[in-house]
Amino acid sequence: MKLFRWSVVGLALSCVAQALAESQTIAGIVLDPMGNGLGGAAVAATAQGRPAGVSVVSGVDGRFALELALGEYELRISARGFQSELRKVSVDGVNLAPLEIQLQLEAHRDDRWNSPPSQR
């Protein structure tokens, strides 16, 4: 009976280890042009060949983390008032250094907002 219990425990641990090996946490920080953490940025990961993906919002310090299955992904990082950025990421189970993504300010399309109120 003890052998059976240890076999079940061993099988369960093996399944957990396999599940952990089939995914990886991708972490990083989104920065503004001055190098400050940019909170509220959307970070979306889409696997190549799949229409839907996984997304998170960066914390107040700009940090984010995504748990992704092994594969190739395109990350889209966006925040209001900033240009979106695309990054390709390979999730292969090997430790990946934290990503550092610096967004640039979005170009103003309407200059009237940059002029004094009397000229609008």
> Structural domain boundaries of the chain?
24-106
User: Residue 91 pairs with which residues in a beta bridge?
Assistant: 71
* CA 102 – CA 116 distance, rounded (Å): 30
Instruction: Give pLDDT tens digits for 48-98.
Output: 877 778 999 999 999 999 999 999 999 999 999 999 999 999 999 888 899
User: How many CB atoms sit inside 10 A of residue 65's CB?
Assistant: 13
What topology is assigned to 24-106 in CATH?
Answer: Immunoglobulin-like (2.60.40)
In this prediction, residue 38 carries a pLDDT of 98
Residue type, 61: D
Q: Using pLDDT thresholds of 50, 70 and 90, give the confidence band for residue 112.
A: low
In this prediction, residue 44 carries a pLDDT of 96
Q: Is the pTM of this model over 0.85?
A: no
- Name the residue among 66, 27, 64, 18 with its Cα closest to residue 46: 66
